[in-house]
């Protein structure tokens, strides 16, 4: 069997914006200070290199192998041809749970089964297809909450913050994008359900470069031998709010492998995007 082509790009929702930068920076600094200098209650130290830089924070929708400029251009054209406003409207229609105020109970996380289960009949099949409605949908505004484990909390390599959307559109919207890009043979097919997450810790980055798996740390299966017991950290940061009122401003295609950008720190290079309302 020939080797699998390397992953080169990914489709995502960037989380760092002009308005969210200071909030996320403060939260990461708070976490980093504790993580590298644990207390008696939190004896497990998290390597500093495992904590993701501010500029890398995003929600991955899918990963891609685009090995030629023609393929990159085709993918960008496909993205720009989509009616993302209509996708957001359809995401709201497909959401089985409407927004409820805090007086009626806590807002549920987006990856719970009762929220964000896409209705396949409401997913558009044609890029740019519109329902004919002209009024723009409301902005997609989320919060990032808690610290969760991608694997068993007693032996994990990835910890992430959970995106919470009180309008229940986020998961449906991203599911629609993933289905469209997969159907167009850009995003690689996935049998697992989409788990939206903002990675805070990934121990693959604390290992030697030669030992890192292809894909720059994206995905849920590359645990390797870097697992640690994160139970204490998960309990410590339960309910912690990394950022509130975070507006998702665009859908972007980025290159795999975060790079140092002069004046802007480490980040994933964006090759193209479309703005959201």
pLDDT (tens digit per residue) in 230-271: 999 999 999 999 999 999 999 999 999 999 998 889 999 999
How many domains, the chain?
Answer: 1
> Following CA atoms 75, 95, 112, 15 in sequence, which dihedral angle do they give, to the nearest 10 degrees?
40
Q: Is residue 211 predicted with pLDDT exceeding 60?
A: no
∠ CA 105-247-261 to the nearest 5 degrees?
135
pLDDT score for 36: 83
Structure tokens at 64: 């891609």
Do residues 254 and 12 make contact, with C-beta atoms less than 8 angstroms apart? yes
Q: Is residue 2 part of a domain?
A: no
Does 198 have pLDDT greater than 60? yes
**Could you tell me the CA-to-CA distances from 55 to 33, 224, 227 in Å, in that order?**
18, 25, 24
Residue with the bigger pLDDT between 89 and 216: it is: 89
For residues 184 and 80, what is the distance between their CA atoms, to the nearest angstrom?
A: 14
When pLDDT is cut at 50, 70 and 90, the band that residue 207 belongs to is confident
The residue with greater pLDDT, 220 or 160, is 160
Q: Is 71:5 a contact under the CB 8 Å cutoff?
A: no
Q: Sheet of 58-64: strands edge to edge?
A: 58-64, 9-14, 250-255, 270-275
> Could you tell me the residue range of the domain that residue 271 belongs to?
9-98+109-126+136-275
The whole-angstrom distance between residue 149's C-alpha and the CA centroid of its chain comes to 14
Residues 6+ apart with CB under 8 A from 155: 223, 227, 228, 229
Chain mean position to CA 259: 18
Distance CA 101, CA 112 (A): 18
98: its two tokens: 């409407």
Given a cut of 90, is residue 113 above it in pLDDT?
A: no
Q: DSSP for 30-75?
A: HHHHHHSS--SS--PPPPGGGBPPGGG-EEEEEEE---SHHHHHHH
Residue 4 lies in a domain: no
- Which residues are 250's β-sheet partners? 275
Q: Are 202 and 161 in contact (CB under 8 A)?
A: no
Task: Report the pLDDT averaged over residues 28-54.
Answer: 87
Residues 102 and 96: their CA atoms lie apart, in Å, by 18
Q: Are 270 and 13 in contact (CB under 8 A)?
A: no
pLDDT top residue among 68 and 222? 68
In a domain, 89, yes or no: yes
Question: Which CATH number characterizes residue 49's domain?
Answer: 3.90.1140.10
Q: What is the mean pLDDT of residues 160-181?
A: 97
pLDDT band at 133 (very low <50, low <70, confident <90, very high): low
Would you say residue 206 lies in a domain?
A: yes
Q: What is the pLDDT of residue 28?
A: 97
With respect to residue 104, please indicate whether it lies within any of the assigned structural domains.
no
Is 176 a member of any domain?
Answer: yes
222 C-beta neighbours (distance < 10 Å), count: 19
In a domain, 246, yes or no: yes
Whether 168 is in a domain gets the answer yes
User: Is pLDDT of 222 > 50?
Assistant: no
Supply 57's token pair: 């924070």
């Amino acid at each position: 069997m020939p080797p699998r082509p390397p992953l080169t790009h990914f489709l995502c929702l960037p989380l760092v914006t002009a308005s969210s930068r200071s909030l996320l920076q403060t939260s990461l600094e708070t976490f980093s200070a504790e993580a590298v200098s644990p207390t008696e209650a939190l004896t497990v130290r998290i390597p500093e290199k495992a904590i993701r830089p501010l500029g890398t924070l995003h929600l991955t929708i899918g990963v891609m192998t685009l090995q030629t400029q023609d393929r990159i251009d085709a993918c960008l054209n496909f993205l720009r041809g989509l009616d993302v406003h209509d996708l957001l409207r359809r995401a709201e229609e497909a959401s089985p749970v409407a927004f409820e105020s805090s007086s009626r109970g806590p807002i549920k996380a987006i990856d719970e089964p009762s929220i964000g289960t896409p209705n396949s009949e409401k997913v558009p099949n044609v890029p740019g297809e519109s329902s004919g409605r002209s009024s723009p949908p409301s902005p997609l505004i989320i919060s990032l909450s808690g610290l969760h484990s991608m694997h068993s909390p007693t032996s994990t390599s990835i910890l992430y913050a959970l995106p919470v959307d009180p309008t229940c559109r986020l998961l449906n919207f991203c599911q629609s994008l993933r289905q469209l890009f997969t159907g167009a043979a850009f995003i690689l097919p996935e049998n697992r359900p989409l788990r939206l997450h903002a990675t805070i810790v990934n121990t693959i980055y604390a290992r030697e470069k030669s030992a890192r798996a292809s894909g720059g740390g994206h995905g849920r299966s590359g645990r390797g031998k870097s697992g640690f017991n994160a139970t204490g950290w998960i309990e410590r940061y339960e309910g912690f709010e990394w950022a509130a009122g975070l507006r998702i401003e665009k859908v972007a295609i980025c290159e795999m492998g975060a790079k140092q950008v002069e004046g802007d720190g480490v980040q994933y290079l964006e090759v193209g995007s479309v703005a959201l309302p």
